[in-house]
Copies of this chain bind each other. A is one copy, B any other.
C-alpha cells in the first residue's frame, strides 16, 4: 500500500522525533530524571499557553478537557452562555446541561463567526451567568472566533470565558493572560503533534475562585487535587509516561525554534490551501478561516463525502468531509502536525483527480498546475518546524 497522507485536523502526522520517543523503553515516573522532565513539561506548557498560571495535563481526549473545565467551575443551576457554531459547540452545550447548568444557547450559523455584541447583550440580560463557553476554532466549520474581543467583554462581567482551543492552541497565538481567557483547553493530537491521549487545561484567578465553590461532583478531573499532586512533582493518577516524554520533545522543539515559527508554518499551509483552492475555482466556507484547518466548499453537484472517499481510495490521502448540516458540502484539510510541502502537493493532486473522476473537467490541468505552483511559492520561505532530524515525509517510511 502507498504511504497514507494524513491531512485531517487531528489526528495529525507525527514527526520522526516524536515517533522515536514513543518507541523508548518504559521507565518509572518516580525517578529524579522523569520528575525533572515532568516539571519541565509543565513549565514549558505555560509558555505555549502564555500564562503565569499552572497548566495541567490530564489523561483524556480533548473532550475530557472540556468536561474538566465545566465540572471544576460550575454548580448545578448555574447559567452558562454557550456559543454554538458547529458540532463541538453543540457538544459542549450538551455537556454543560448534563452537569446541571441552565444553558443559554447562542446559535451562530455554521461557517459564520460569533458577533461579540450579541454576547455582550446576552451578558447584560443575564448578569447571573457564570460562564461563556466557546470554541476558538470550531473544527466542524474551520471558523476562528474573536477570542480576544470576547475576553474583553467577559472581563467586566461575572462570567468567566472558557475557551476550547483544542484545534487552535499551538497552531496560532492564543495568549491566555494577554487576552484574559479564564479557562483554556488544548489537546495532544492537534498542533502538539502527538497521539490522542492528553488534554491540557489552565485556569485564571477568576476561574480558580469558581473552583472553590463548585458543586459539580468530580474525581477523575478534580483539578484542585491534581494541583496538590503537581505541587509534589506527581500527577494525581497514573502518569502517562510515554505521552509526556513525547510532549517534552515537542515542546523542546517548539521553544527552541520559537512558537512564532510554528505558527508561521501553519499560517503558510493555510494560506497555500486557500490560494490553491481558489486557483481550482473553489470557495472557502468560513467567514474567518482558522489557520489550523480549512473548509473548502464543493462545486455544484459534487458530494464531498464522495470526494473524501475517492481521495482515500485513489491516492491514500485522508481529508475530512462535513458533518450534519455541512454533510456533503465541504472538504476540510488540516494544517497541523508534520506536513511537508510534498504532502500538500500530493493532496491537491489527489483532490483534483477525485473531483474530476466525479465530474469530468471540474479542474483543468492548467488550474491544477497553478494550484501546485502557488503551494510551492507560498511554502518555500516557511519550512516545517522540526529538529535537524529527517524530513517529515520520512516519518511515514
Contact = CB atoms under 8 A, between A and B. Distances in A.
A328 interface: no
Nearest to A92: B219
A185 to B, nearest CB: 13
Contact of A242 (B4, B59, B95, B195): B195
Given A22-B23, A220-B64, A220-B67, A239 B196 contact: yes
A26 B94 CA distance: 30
Contacts of A4: 25, 27-28, 31
Given A31-B318, A59-B60, A67-B219, A238 B187 contact: yes
A200 to B, nearest CB: 14
Interface residues on A, range: 35 or more
A189 B23 contact: no
Contacts of A117: none
Interface in A218-258: 218-221, 237-243
Interface stretch (A10-18, A108-116, A282-290, A345-353): A10-18
Contacts of A187: 238
A146 interface: no
Given A23-B23, A187-B238, A197-B197, 13 more contacts: A3-B25, A8-B28, A13-B25, A22-B23, A26-B337, A28-B318, A59-B59, A67-B220, A99-B219, A100-B217, A195-B241, A216-B217, A217-B217
